[in-house]
Amino acid sequence: MSSPASQSRDLRGPGPKAREKRLSELNAGATPDGQVTHLETVAFGPSLAVERFRFGNGLELLFCEDHSAPVIAYHTWFRVGSRHEREGKTGLAHLFEHLMFNEVEGRKAGEFDRKLEEAGAESNASTWLDFTQYNVSIPKDQLPLVVKLESERMSRLVLRDPQVKSEKEVVANERRLRVDDDLEGAASELLWATAFENHAYRWPTIGWMKDIEGFTTEDCQEFYRTYYAPNNAVLVIVGDVAEAALLKKLSAAYGALPASTLPIEDVQPEPPQLAERRVEVSKPTATEKLVVGYHSPAMGDFDHPALSLLAEVLFSGRASRLHQKLVRELELATEVRAFVGPFRDPGLFELFISAREGQTAEKLLAVIDAEFEKVRTEAISPEEIARAAARLELGLLAGLETVDGKASTLGFYEIVLGRPGAAFERLDTTRRVTASDLIRVARRYLLPRYRSVIFVRPDSSTSTDDGAEAAQ
């Protein structure tokens, strides 16, 4: 049975001539900054297409018409993340993300969220190493409101001392929640600070506590002026709206915003790591943890898909090699996880392993070393490669069920790789990865001298009472 709610149309736009005519009419009445140019049509999987537009002020739009539900995902991605910060001012991009929900000229503090919620919207935001993104999902009839609110806060944000002071407290509490009182968060932060000495990836996105406490309203105002401009942003809109109607609204709302001169990023490449780095830390936990980071390629690197596939073979799912070895066969660990950083610059292949009681992190590391030696010397079977590739395919498809999932995927690949449809390109690349590719990346990246290791030991204040009970 097919239902009206489940039709996702293959829309390749209105056709070149019709679009040209519409854009010509639209641009005739628009400001120079609001004039729209259609740049390209990009395939997004087998059945959807994404249209790329650019406004006169440099604002880019990725639009995917999708009528699968009467809703719209409206994402604004800024090309600024924690990598654009400097020592002493870490965490500014993330603090600023919080401040973007506060006050806009002509509106009361908090009105942005109140209006959106009243419209039935779901909204959130996130900051990471390479970007800051704001996402709003709305019932389709509420599009005019979100266009107005989002275009307003791109240029007319009000930054005052009371809001900055209060938001600094909120962020400090978020840091306590996610890092200071969170074992894995604290260990991961230490790992990146150990593995990187030059590149801005060495500090945490949330920032060091002393930096969060030290921010001034002037810091925030300068950050806003520098990075929050239409020519540093990409709108990603997916959902139940016609292209012509959308462009008209966006041109009117964003056409009044001037472009700014963006600074040249002061990138500090990370020099090659030549020797293993080890750090020990004590935490109130009952069991040892092992956190390891191998320097890994940038997401756009030829080797990234192969290394990601190798990570799946080794660590993902209960059938993975290290789960089988550490959790099932030897019963040394409770959990194994790994993650190849999906970043613009080289990042880390990060491992997290939780030891069982009485087992040591050194023992875990010895098993990992032995397994890594195997993948450096022996071919991985086609069946294992196929298993890993199928997991990646399922993960991609499952993330595309909602318009928000589609917009997140498009925006992420646009910001990091400059190609919004790259998720499917990577899937194709992954399917072509061979056993030789996996041996190559294992030999190139999975060497002890390229890694940093954090040993988390239970501190003496932690009881070893046997009274555990899982929370529900």
Binders in 279-338 for other proteins, by CB under 8 A: 283-287, 317-319, 324, 327-328, 331, 334-335
Strands 60-65 and 71-78, sheet pairing = unpaired
In the complex with other proteins, which residue's Cβ is closer, 60 or 167? 167
Question: Is 258 a binder of other proteins (CB under 8 A)?
Answer: no
Contact set for other proteins, span 30-69 (CB under 8 A): 68-69
Dist CA 401 CA 421 (whole Å): 16
Judged by beta carbon, residue 101 or residue 196, the one nearer other proteins is 101
Tell which one of 100, 195, 403, 410 touches other proteins (CB under 8 A): 403
Residue type present at position 431 = R
Residue 76 or 320 with smaller CB distance to other proteins: 320
**Contact between 87 and other proteins (CB under 8 A)?**
no
Give me the least distance between CB of 132 and other proteins, in Å please. 18
Identify which of residues 247 and 351 has a Cβ nearer to other proteins in the complex. 351
Provide, rounded to whole angstroms, the least separation between the CB of residue 347 and other proteins. Answer: 25
| Distant-in-sequence, close-in-space partners of 49: CB < 8 Å, separation ≥ 6 | 10, 11, 12, 13, 41, 42, 43, 64
Q: Is 381 in the site for other proteins (CB under 8 A)?
A: no
Q: Say whether residue 402 binds other proteins (CB under 8 A).
A: yes
467 forms part of the interface with other proteins (CB under 8 A) = yes
402: DSSP letter:
S
Q: CA 132 → CA 59, 70, 213, 224, distances in Å?
A: 15, 27, 21, 12
Minimal distance, residue 161 CB to other proteins, in Å: 13
Q: Which is nearer to other proteins, 144 or 300 (CB)?
A: 144
173 lies in the binding site for other proteins (CB under 8 A): yes
Instruction: Work out whether 119 is an interface residue with other proteins (CB under 8 A).
Output: yes
Max alpha carbon distance in the chain (Å)? 75
- Residue 465: its H or E element: none
Token pair 């998720």 is at which residue? 423
Q: Which tokens go with 100?
A: 């973007």
Q: Where are the alpha helices (DSSP H) in 33-182?
A: 92-99, 111-118, 143-155, 161-175
Q: How many residues bind other proteins (CB under 8 A)?
A: 83
Under rule CB under 8 A, residue 382 binds other proteins? no
Residue with structure tokens 């022996």? Answer: 378
Q: Per rule CB under 8 A, is residue 28 in the interface with other proteins?
A: no
Which of 271, 390, 418, 443 is in the footprint of other proteins by CB under 8 A?
390
| Minimum CB–partner distance for residue 174 and other proteins (Å) | 4
Q: Is 88 exposed, middle or buried (0-12, 13-18, 19+ CB in 10 A)?
A: exposed
Under the binding rule (CB under 8 A), the answer on residue 183 touching other proteins is: yes
Q: How far apart are CA 34 and CA 54, in angstroms?
A: 9
Task: Give the residue from 190, 199, 219, 196 showing the smallest Cα distance to 89.
Answer: 219
- N- to C-terminal Cα distance for the chain? 37
- Regarding 210 and contact with other proteins (CB under 8 A), the answer is no
Pairing, β 48-55 against β 60-65? antiparallel
Site for other proteins in 63-82 (CB under 8 A): 68-71
Binding mask 133-172 for other proteins (x = CB under 8 A): ----x-x--x----------------------xxxxxx-x
Mark the segment that binds other proteins (CB under 8 A) among 15-23, 370-378, 396-404, 419-427. 396-404
CB of 159 closer than 8 Å to CB of 217? yes
